[in-house]
Amino acid sequence: MWEFLIPLFAATVQSGTPILYATLGEMMTEKGGVLNLGVEGIMSVAALAAYLTSYYTGSPWLAFLAGGTAGMAFASLHGFVCITCLGNQVVSGLALTIFGLGLTNFLGVPYVGLPAPGFTPFDFPLLSSIPVIGDIFFRHDMLVYVSFVVPFVFWFFFRRTSLGLHVAATGEMPAAAAAVGLKPIALRYFAVIAGGFLMGLGGAYLSLAYTHLWTNGLAGGRGWIAVALVIFAFWRPGRAVAGAYLFGGVMAFQLRLQAMGTHLPSSLLLMLPYLLTIIVLIFSAWRGRRIDAPAALGTNIEPEG
């Protein structure tokens, strides 16, 4: 039993990592009051940017940063359309996803199937020798270890720093925030772009540590899962970790079942994560905690005059 479960849980952590980055990115954005449905597109573009950087420079860390930067650049497009031009946040996010997926499929064509250097797993000193826990959590690549720290930073940022509190205030009541002398527009830009950075890291993980080569449709719905997970997590980083690993688990389990050669058709197995997304949303709605959503989420700040 353990021979089956431990590799499964280890694979769960790996599959959950890109989703975790993306979920925290969307959560950051939404905390500032902006809904970004472009996650799927941003992740794809970032995955390609990271891949190309790694392919041409051979430096995985540079590539990881390139993914984050591409995420920031793309998210700032959404920021410009929604924050400055007061465009509809839902439609702008969708447009960004369409644009991003198109751009990735367009530019990525010559590289399909070509490998690029990325991050490889190594045993984390000391910690990896803990029985079970070490096997599950500490025999991964560096980006997984980084992702263990990010939720704490995220929590600290919103609980203990004034910038974090200001961002949260613009997500709740931008008018009140402006009245006490904060700059809601700038704070929202910050949330959108910082969120885009995290989404970009999630995308970069896909090409740098998950596949190590370029394929089309790398994001595979993970961006949308991230949007759903923010609701599931009630805008709290700790629950985002749980949600991301839940989905990582289902994805890992479904791959394993396929590899073992079950009689279930693969198309039905592939439905699992998408079905689970709906189930997870039903569950969060049933718990009735929608009150936790930032009050001004999805509404733009109208200029005066």
Partner 1 sequence: MILKIRKRDEPWKWGALVIFLGALLFSLGVSALLLAGQGKDALHGLNILWQGSFGNLWALEGALLKAIPLFLCSLGVAVAFRMQIWNIGAEGQFALGAIGATWMALSFPDLPGYFLMPLMFIMAFVLGGIWAFIPAVLKLKLRVNEIISTLMLNYIAILLLDYMVFGVWKDPTSFGFPMTPEFTSGAVIQGIGGSRVHWGLLFCAVVGIGLWAFMRFTRLGYELKASGEGVRVARYAKIRYGMLVMFVMCLSGGFSGWAGCIETSAVLGRLQPSLMVGYGYTAIVVAWLARLEPLNIAFGSFLLAALRVGVENLQLELQIPAAFGVIMEGMILLVVLAGQFFLMYRLERVTRTKGE
Which residues bind to partner 1, rule: CB under 8 A? 37, 41, 77, 80-81, 84-88, 90-92, 94-106, 109, 221, 224, 227-228, 231, 265, 267-268, 270-271, 274-275, 277-278, 281-282, 285-286, 290, 303, 305
Residue 91 vs 127, nearer CB to partner 1: 91
Residue among 200, 212, 188 nearest 89 (CA): 188
Residue 96 vs 296, nearer CB to partner 1: 96
Amino acid at 90: V
Q: How far is the CB of 275 from partner 1 (least distance, A)?
A: 7
Q: How far is the CB of 282 from partner 1 (least distance, A)?
A: 6
Q: How far is the CB of 200 from partner 1 (least distance, A)?
A: 18
Query: 118, 52 in Cβ contact below 8 A?
Result: no
Q: How far is the CB of 273 from partner 1 (least distance, A)?
A: 8
Please give the backbone phi and psi of residue 128, each rounded to the nearest 5 degrees, phi first: -70, -15
Residue 125 vs 305, nearer CB to partner 1: 305
- From residue 164, give the alpha-carbon distance in Å to each of 161, 173, 193: 5, 14, 14
- From residue 106, give the alpha-carbon distance in Å to each of 216, 220, 286: 10, 17, 41
Cα separation of 69 and 64, whole Å?
9
Residue 145 vs 274, nearer CB to partner 1: 274
Q: What separation, in Å, do the N-terminal and C-terminal C-alpha atoms of the chain show?
A: 68
Q: What are the start-end ranges of the E strands in 248-294?
A: none
Residue 40 vs 141, nearer CB to partner 1: 40
Q: How far is the CB of 61 from partner 1 (least distance, A)?
A: 27
Residue 101 vs 143, nearer CB to partner 1: 101
Question: Rounded to a whole number, what is the largest CA-CA distance in the chain?
Answer: 68
Q: How far is the CB of 91 from partner 1 (least distance, A)?
A: 5
Residue among 147, 148, 167 nearest 157 (CA): 167
Total Cβ atoms within 10 A of residue 59: 13
